[in-house]
Amino acid sequence: MKVEVLEGHHFLSGDVAVAEGAIAAGCRFFAGYPITPSSEVAERMSRRLPEVGGIFIQMEDELASMAALLGASWGGKKSMTATSGPGFSLMMENYGLGMMTETPCVIVNVQRAGPSTGLPTLVGQGDVMQARWGSHGPYETIALSPESPQECFDMAVRAFNFSEKYRIPVVVLMDESVGHLFERVSIPPKSEIEVIDRKISTDKKRHIYEPDDDLIPPMPPVGEGFGIHVTGLTHDERGYPVITAEAQEKLVRRLVDKIRVHADEIIDYEEFMTEDADVIVIAYGISARSARRAVIMAREKGIKAGMLRLKVIWPFPSKKLRELVEKASHFVVAEINNGQILVEVERAIRKEAVFVGKMGGEPHRPDEVLKGIEEAVK
């Protein structure tokens, strides 16, 4: 198995597929702390990274993992960690440091049911808002949500590409079900996988945080005499702390805008039978697979149902929803939490949606989503 890209057809779990995707994207550093149901990602990486010239470290906790990730990223390695709810909570501090210092890296969160230790081995989707707002302060995030091992592979590549291109920590919001189920994963040859690398600064005179027109500053390498200073404090373009409201406005506004102006390149969704739909289910991850079945069942009953599946959760596709609300009259949201994406959906469509929530432990049965669809059209 000493190959960089595991070309061909394989029967893999989502956890293993996301690891393979990362390696294909050029990930060469992994720091993590074991936690169910994400540990298989670490296990795979510990076996695979040395084969491709990379480094795997099992850190002492998730705080350390996230810190090491940022360090390694500045050291020039594409870096990743994998965790689940409680570990994700511990990573939030340095997730914020990654945002503030514009450090590319990827965090895989295989969601389980919480709060707290909750159901370690069973599914949840309760970290959606934590991925968005988990660290303190204003910022924009990128979070992807795969529904199958194939997408785990594909989205790991995409997550790295986003993180490198926009210089931002990117979250792959998996869930236990997708992480643990096995399916065929078809991996193209290396030459056919688009891999984006960060812009590297070559001008030693240029300030470390002087952005290009796309609002993204190229990243200087360490150990090459650039003499960079990187701080989590609000800083100016030289990277030096400036403790004023003006500096904060300027810096954080750019951090937000660099994602907002590129939102259209990032946002991605699947429309399933939405063309003539009266009622649209919004779902992501494993819930989308239940919803897809429910839509088919509804169509069999003569209800014009469709689904909008969020492949990228953040940035949220508000524009798309505003388009859909022109055509469809009813909206249903199915997610394994107490209503997180629901809030975003209702904000976009400016009316109530039927909420089919589950507190976690199992994915929606298709008939549960169908009930929501029927309630919506009643």
Partner 1 sequence: MSVVQANMHPLDNYLRTERLPHVWCSGCGIGTVLGAYLRAMKNIGMDPEKTIMVSGIGCTGRAAGYVKMDSFHTTHGRPIPFAVGIKAARPDLNVTVFSGDGDLFAIGGNHIIHAARRNADITVITINNFIYGMTGGQLAPTTPETGITTTSPYGNVESPFNLAGLVAVSGASYVARWTSLHVRRLEKSIEKALKKRGFSFVEVLSPCPTAYGRRNRMRDPVDMLKYFQEHAVVKHHINPLEGVIEPDKDFIVGEFLDAEEEPTFEDKLWEMTKKEFLYTSQAERTAWILEHRRHLETLSKIISGRGER
Partner 2 sequence: MARIELQIGGFGGQGVILAGLVIARALSLYDKREAVFTQSYGPEARGGASSSGVVVDDSKVDYPYPTKPDIMVIMSQEAFTTYFPKLKKGGTLIIERDLVKIDGKPEGVGEFHSIPATKIAEELGNRIVANIVMVGFITKVTGIVTKESAKKAVLEMVPKKVKALNEKAFETGYGYEEE
Least distance to partner 1, CB of residue 243, Å:
10
Cβ–Cβ under 8 Å, residues 325 and 349: yes
Number of residues in contact with partner 2 under rule CB under 8 A: 24
Q: How many Cα atoms occupy the beta-carbon half-sphere of 56 within 13 Å?
A: 19
Pick 10 or 260: Cβ nearer partner 2: 10
* Distance in angstroms (rounded) separating the CA atoms of residues 344 and 65: 31
Least distance to partner 1, CB of residue 22, Å:
15
Least distance to partner 2, CB of residue 292, Å:
4
Site for partner 1 in 288-347 (CB under 8 A): none
Residue from 9, 136, 205, 350 touching partner 2 (CB under 8 A): that is 9
Site for partner 2 in 347-376 (CB under 8 A): 363, 365-366
Q: Is the dihedral of CA 231, 237, 242, 248 positive or negative?
A: negative
Residue from 8, 138, 188, 241 touching partner 1 (CB under 8 A): that is 241
Residue from 224, 249, 257, 264 touching partner 1 (CB under 8 A): that is 224
* Distance in angstroms (rounded) separating the CA atoms of residues 80 and 69: 6
* Distance in angstroms (rounded) separating the CA atoms of residues 252 and 355: 34
CA distances from 377 to 95, 122, 280, 323, 327 (A): 42, 32, 10, 19, 14
Least distance to partner 2, CB of residue 39, Å:
12
Least distance to partner 1, CB of residue 290, Å:
39
Window of 39-47, 99-107, 115-123, 231-239 that interacts with partner 2 by CB under 8 A: 115-123
* Distance in angstroms (rounded) separating the CA atoms of residues 20 and 4: 9
Binding mask 125-164 for partner 2 (x = CB under 8 A): -----------------------x----------------
Least distance to partner 1, CB of residue 196, Å:
18
Residue 10 interacting entry, from partner 2, partner 1, none, C-beta within 5 to 8 Å by type:
partner 2
* Distance in angstroms (rounded) separating the CA atoms of residues 68 and 265: 29
| End-to-end Cα distance, the chain | 55
One-letter identity of residue 144: L
Three-class SS of residue 23? helix
Structure tokens at 155: 């989205």
Site for partner 1 in 8-47 (CB under 8 A): 29, 31
Residue 338 interacting entry, from partner 2, partner 1, none, C-beta within 5 to 8 Å by type:
none
Quick check: bond before 315 cis, omega within 30?
A: yes
Angle at 23 between CA 18 and CA 27, to 5 degrees: 105
Binding mask 178-217 for partner 2 (x = CB under 8 A): --xxxxx---------------------------------
Residues, the chain, total? 378
Q: Report DSSP state, residue 201.
A: P
Q: Which of 305, 276, 275 is nearest to 369 (CA)?
A: 305
Binding site for partner 1 (CB under 8 A): 2-4, 29, 31, 49-57, 59-61, 63-65, 67-77, 79, 93-94, 96-97, 222-233, 240-241
Binding site for partner 2 (CB under 8 A): 9-11, 37, 119, 121-122, 148, 176-177, 180-184, 286, 289-290, 292-293, 296, 363, 365-366
